[in-house]
Structure 1
């Protein structure tokens, strides 16, 4: 028995040369990339600013943190959540027809190719650029952030939708058709029960991403808490920066906990 095992092991291809070459290539690439790192900008003044940032984060401005007016952290966080949530919902709805028209198991390949090219084009443009474009159209404010989140969500959500649609169990649909079910009944009882858990999980995951992107969009004036954050940083008000970051951390933890619970429930049915 041991001889047979040894014989099989000897027949295995010798991959150590390939592994060694791969490691050497990675090491060379890391060394080459490190030549672009410049430490000249790290001065004593920079270290002082970094120290002030850390102190401000650990000593947040409690008045700003617990200010419930439209200038306080709670209101700005709520605005950020609303932008991310509505943007995700609108983007998820718009992605449905694009995904169905891009699924090769439902439409001819030329039509599916056009849909996939459209999705690729949407995904190519960064969210930050969408924000700058919509601010020029609608002016600064939450509505620009909502439109940005909606369009930016279409690319990723459509791609995930397509994977779910192409993984449909067609045998179930064939059994419904053999039973004499109508098209509406096949969609209601054969397609939607298979797609809804994956669709819901995709929407929740995208909402997590949009919540973080909405914070960055505020830096360009698209509403949310990003604008007060950059103003506080430019004014070197690190206590206010600490208050805003503390609110963001708490918000992200709460949203992550809720979304994890929902995803577990969807996975377990």
Structure 2
């Protein structure tokens, strides 16, 4: 069975952020991810990881002005210096947190800028980041995101992300395969897992129920089957990554709301630690 990481941006929201690590560990998670760590000292987060026996598996590089609606700057011409400074900050956090993966958000495509210009900027920033990350022993990830949840996002399709990774050719530049986003944009997930996982370019999976982005046992996807496909293909190609649980609990940010919705995790064979 795949290893599951709790996304602490979306799960356990009844707790302050630094208290979510304990809650995730008690429910049996061995890894964690989240959008951004930068509101807290890296050392404070590292203390929580160590105290609860958790591995940091992924976080995002700074995305620009998130509160103002920016969703990454990697494809935006003229923001290269800001991108590089932000990525340097992400690498410093990754060092303290012993995190092997950093997701670089592409950004929203601005009106009036040719696609070719955005793509060239994106590829140049990714190539630079991959070089910096390689020296630190980290992977750089890019993630196709569906246009319903994030209108105007630059990257939508797995095939395009893999094309970019292959064109750049950096071994540590990989693709984040979010099954929720991919189902909305493309579908045919089992065959896409079989297509892309053996390439060595899939760095991470994420999941959520479709269409409401709640628990994975709510909605149109049959995740037990997809887990079995991932297991099968991973055994053939040697993939040993994680699946990030990036969903909004259907019960909301109420006491025990995340934990009460983990029947799917128990069915997958992951016991609570208590």
TM-score by length of 1: 0.21
Give the helix-richer structure, 1 or 2. Answer: 1
Question: Greater CA radius of gyration, 1 or 2?
Answer: 1
TM-score by length of 2: 0.20
Structure with higher RCO (Cα < 8 A, 6+ apart): 1
